[in-house]
C-alpha cells in the first residue's frame, strides 16, 4: 500500500522555488509574509506526542528486516543511524577538507572553516544480529532523553504541513483529537541499496515540481540555543533580524549549518533520493524565516560539485561495507558495538581507528541507568566512562587519493568537476595490548561524553548571546522597536 507523503501548508511552497531566506515577518514593516499562525511555537508541554508514531530503530523495523532478507542484503540501517559514521569516512578520504565559505560576507573571512567539534566527535553504533541480518542502531549510551529540540522538531513538522484546524488536533487540549486509525498510520519511507547494504529514509515532504519530488524538513534552532541547550531559556530573546553578520543573522545560522550539519544532511538527502532540505529557523519561542537548500547547493559548499559528492557517497558506502565485513568476520553471528574515531596522523593526513566489540548477550538490551542529563551531571564524570566489553579488536582505516595522476597530500582539493579522482583504502587490525586498547577506548568515550555534557565553566560568547537576548526581551516588554540593519534583498547563497 502506498502511503501518502505530506505536502507544505500555509503557502510555504513558494520558498522551494525562490532561493535565499524568506522572512516570516518583514523586519522593517512588521507585516507578515506568511500566516501569523506560524510565528509562536507550541511548547512541548502542550503538544500530544502520543498522537505521533514512535520512531522505529532499524533493528525493530520488521518490514526493513524482511525486505533485506528478500533482497539478500546483509546489513540494514536508517539515515539517522548511519549519517554520523559516513561523516567519518568523508573525513578520512578528504583529509578533513574544510567547507567553502566563499559565498558568505566579509564578516566571516577570519572565522573557522573546519567542521565543528561535535561533528568530528567519535561515532558509535550497534550492529545488531537479527534473523540473519545485521541492523545498524545508534549507540545512545550518552543520549538519554529527548531534548527540547528533538521534540520541537517533531511538532514543527506537523505545523509546517497542516493548516491550523488540522494541526490543532495534535494538541493536548484538542476538542477533536486524531482518531486511532490516523495515529497508527505507518510513516512513508524510501529505500536505497548499494552492495550488501539496504538503507531506509523517512520521507517528510513532497512537491511535484521538484526535480526529485521529495525533500527533508529541518527545524534549526539559533546558535546560542544549540550551544547551551540545557539553558535554552536564557536565549528566548535571541532573534534573527538581518540577513548578514556574525550575530542575530540568517547568515550566521547558514555558516554554522555548513560546519555542523550540512555533511549529515547531505548524506541523509542522498540516501532518501531527495531534492534538498527546507529549513525553518527558530529560537524555540518564535519562527523567524525559511530557506530551501538544494542538494546541489550543499554539494558545492562541502565538496565543490555534485559529481564529486556522488563519488564521496559511493566511496563512503563501499568503505562502510568493508568495515562491517571485517567486523563480522572477526566476531560472526552476534551483536557488535563499533566506534569510529578519525584523526590526523600529521598535517593533512587522516586515518580512522575502528573499535569493534562483541556485545555479551546479557548486555544487548541493557538500558542506561541514567534517565536524564541532570542525573548524569550529578555524578562524577569518570564514573560515566566505562571500559569496553571483554572481546574487543581495533582496526585502522587509511586512504590514498590520486587526482589526475598525482598523489594528494593534505586536504582533498579538486580543481573542477572533471578532475579524475581515484581513492584507495586499506583496513588492518592493530596489534595492541589490552591496556593500550582500554586506554584509547576510554579516551574516545570521554570525548563523546564531553559533547553530551559540555563544560559548565563561564563562556564569554554565551554571556554575550544572553545579553543580546535580554536586551531584546526588555525592548519587547517596553513596546520598543529593536533597531534593524538595512534590509538587503540580495541572495547571499547563489
One-character DSSP codes across 36-74: GGGTBPPPGGGB-GGGSPPP--GGG-HHHHHHHHHTT-S
Question: Under 8 Å CB-to-CB from 400, ≥6 apart: which residues?
Answer: 407, 408, 423, 424, 425
Place of cell 595490548: 433
Answer yes or no: are the C-beta atoms of 204 and 4 closer than 8 Å.
no
Residue 223 has pLDDT above 80, yes or no: yes
Answer yes or no: are the C-beta atoms of 214 and 190 closer than 8 Å.
yes
pLDDT at 488: 39
What 8-state DSSP symbol labels residue 16? Answer: G
Answer yes or no: are the C-beta atoms of 10 and 163 closer than 8 Å.
yes
pLDDT single digits (tens) 65-79: 999 999 999 999 999
pLDDT at 493: 43
Q: What is the dihedral of CA 295, 298, 303, 309, to 10 degrees?
A: -20
Question: How far out from the chain centre does Cα 407 lie?
Answer: 32
Answer yes or no: are the C-beta atoms of 329 and 356 closer than 8 Å.
no
pLDDT at 474: 94
Question: Under 8 Å CB-to-CB from 37, ≥6 apart: which residues?
Answer: 10, 164
pLDDT single digits (tens) 265-292: 999 999 999 999 999 999 999 999 999 9
Phi, psi angles (nearest 5°) of residue 64: -65, -45
Alpha-carbon torsion 473, 474, 475, 477, what sign? positive
Higher pLDDT, 336 or 381: 336
Question: Which residues does residue 21 pair with via DSSP β-bridges, in sequence order?
Answer: 291
What 8-state DSSP symbol labels residue 183? Answer: H
Please spell the DSSP secondary structure of 467-485, one letter per residue.
HHHHHHHHHHHTTPPPP-P
pLDDT single digits (tens) 453-469: 877 778 899 999 999 99
Alpha-carbon torsion 266, 268, 272, 274, what sign? negative
Question: Which residues does residue 287 pair with via DSSP β-bridges, in sequence order?
Answer: 282
Q: Give the percent of the chain with pLDDT over 70.
A: 95
Answer yes or no: are the C-beta atoms of 338 and 356 closer than 8 Å.
yes
Q: How far apart are CA 6 and CA 121, in angstroms?
A: 34
First-residue to last-residue Cα distance in the chain = 40
Helix (H) or strand (E) holding 461: helix 460-477
Higher pLDDT, 353 or 2: 353
Q: How far apart are CA 239 and CA 339, in angstroms?
A: 38
- Mean pLDDT in residue range 181-191: 85
Strands (DSSP E) contained in 259-387 are 276-282, 287-294, 336-346, 349-358
pLDDT at 371: 62
Q: How far apart are CA 68 and CA 195, in angstroms?
A: 12
| pLDDT interval class at 145 (50, 70, 90) | low
Residue 7 has pLDDT above 70, yes or no: yes
pLDDT at 130: 92
pLDDT at 483: 53
Report the candidate in 232, 48, 221, 57 with the shortest Cα–Cα distance to residue 143: 57
Q: How far apart are CA 490 and CA 20, in angstroms?
A: 8
- Mean pLDDT in residue range 181-210: 92
Helices (H), ranges, 287-385: 295-302, 306-330, 373-377
Q: How far apart are CA 390 and CA 372, in angstroms?
A: 28
Answer yes or no: are the C-beta atoms of 133 and 123 closer than 8 Å.
no
Residue 415 has pLDDT above 70, yes or no: no
Q: How far apart are CA 204 and CA 214, in angstroms?
A: 7
Which set of grid coordinates corresponds to residue 181? 486509525
Answer yes or no: are the C-beta atoms of 77 and 136 closer than 8 Å.
yes
pLDDT at 418: 79
pLDDT at 64: 96
Question: How far is the CA of 413 from the CAs of 89, 259, 402, in angstroms?
Answer: 16, 17, 11
Helix (H) or strand (E) holding 445: helix 434-452
Helices (H), ranges, 130-189: 148-161, 164-167, 180-183
Residue 37 has pLDDT above 90, yes or no: yes
pLDDT at 181: 79
| pLDDT interval class at 417 (50, 70, 90) | confident
Place of cell 534538498: 276
Q: How far apart are CA 34 and CA 12, in angstroms?
A: 8
3-class state of residue 403 by DSSP: strand
Residues, the chain, total? 494
Q: How far apart are CA 295 and CA 280, in angstroms?
A: 17
Q: pTM of the predicted model, to two decimals? A: 0.94
pLDDT at 112: 97
Answer yes or no: are the C-beta atoms of 95 and 412 closer than 8 Å.
yes
Amino acid at each position: 500500500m502506498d502511503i501518502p507523503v505530506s505536502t507544505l501548508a500555509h503557502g510555504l511552497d513558494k520558498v522551494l522555488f525562490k532561493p535565499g531566506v524568506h522572512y516570516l515577518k518583514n523586519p522593517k514593516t512588521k507585516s507578515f509574509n506568511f500566516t501569523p499562525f506560524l510565528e509562536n511555537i507550541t511548547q512541548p508541554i502542550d503538544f500530544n506526542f502520543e498522537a505521533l508514531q514512535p520512531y522505529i530503530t532499524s533493528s525493530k523495523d520488521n518490514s526493513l528486516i524482511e525486505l533485506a532478507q528478500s533482497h539478500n542484503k546483509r546489513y540494514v540501517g536508517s539515515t539517522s543511524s548511519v549519517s554520523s559514521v559516513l561523516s567519518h569516512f568523508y573525513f578520512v578520504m578528504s583529509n578533513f577538507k574544510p567547507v567553502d565559505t566563499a559565498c558568505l560576507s566579509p564578516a566571516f573571512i577570519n572565522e573557522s572553516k573546519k567542521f565543528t567539534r561535535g561533528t568530528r566527535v567519535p561515532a558509535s553504533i550497534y550492529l545488531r544480529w537479527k534473523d540473519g541480518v545485521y541492523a545498524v542502531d545508534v549507540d545512545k549510551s550518552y543520549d538519554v532523553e529527548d531534548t527540547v529540540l528533538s521534540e520541537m522538531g517533531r511538532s514543527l513538522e506537523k505545523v509546517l504541513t497542516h493548516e491550523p484546524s488540522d494541526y490543532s488536533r495534535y494538541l493536548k487540549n484538542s476538542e477533536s483529537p486524531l482518531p486511532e486509525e490516523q495515529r497508527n498510520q505507518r510513516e512513508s519511507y524510501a529505500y536505497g541499496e548499494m552492495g550488501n547494504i539496504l538503507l531506509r529514509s523517512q520521507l517528510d515532504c513532497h512537491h511535484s515540481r521538484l526535480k526529485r519530488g521529495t525533500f527533508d524538513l529541518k527545524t534549526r534552532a539559533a546558535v546560542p540555543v544549540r550551544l547551551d541547550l540545557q539553558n535554552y531559556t536564557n536565549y528566548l530573546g535571541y532573534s534573527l533580524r538581518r540577513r548578514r553578520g556574525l550575530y542575530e543573522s540568517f547568515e550566521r545560522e547558514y555558516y554554522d549549518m555548513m560546519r555542523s550539519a550540512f555533511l549529515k544532511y547531505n548524506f541523509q538527502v542522498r540516501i532518501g533520493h531527495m531534492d534538498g532540505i527546507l529549513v525553518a529557523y527558530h529560537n524555540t519561542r518564535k519562527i523567524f524565516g525559511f530557506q530551501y537548500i538544494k542538494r546541489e547547493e550543499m554539494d558545492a559548499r562541502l565538496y565543490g560539485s555534485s559529481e564529486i559528492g556522488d563519488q564521496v557517497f559511493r566511496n563512503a558506502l563501499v568503505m562502510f561495507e568493508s568495515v562491517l565485513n571485517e567486523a563480522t568476520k572477526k566476531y560472526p553471528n552476534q551483536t557488535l558495538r563499533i566506534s569510529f574515531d578519525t584523526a590526523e596522523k600529521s598535517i593533512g593526513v587522516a586515518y580512522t581507528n575502528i573499535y569493534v566489540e562483541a556485545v555479551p548477550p546479557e548486555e544487548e538490551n541493557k538500558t542506561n541507568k541514567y534517565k536524564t542529563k541532570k542525573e548524569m551531571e550529578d555524578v562524577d564524570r569518570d564514573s560515566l566512562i566505562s571500559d569496553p566489553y571483554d572481546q574487543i579488536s581495533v582496526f585502522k582505516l587509511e586512504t590514498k587519493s590520486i587526482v589526475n595522476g598525482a598523489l594528494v597530500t593534505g586536504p582533498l582539493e579538486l580543481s573542477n568537476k572533471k578532475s579524475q579522482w581515484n581513492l584507495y583504502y586499506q583496513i588492518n587490525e592493530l596489534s595492541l595490548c589490552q591496556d593500550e586498547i582500554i586506554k584509547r577506548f576510554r579516551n574516545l568515550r570521554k570525548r563523546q561524553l564531553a559533547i553530551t555534557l559540555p563544560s559548565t565553566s563561564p563562556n564569554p560568547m554565551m554571556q554575550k548571546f544572553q545579553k543580546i537576548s535580554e536586551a531584546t526581551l526588555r525592548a519587547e516588554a517596553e513596546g520598543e522597536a529593536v533597531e534593524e540593519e538595512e534590509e538587503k534583498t540580495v541572495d547571499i547563497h547563489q
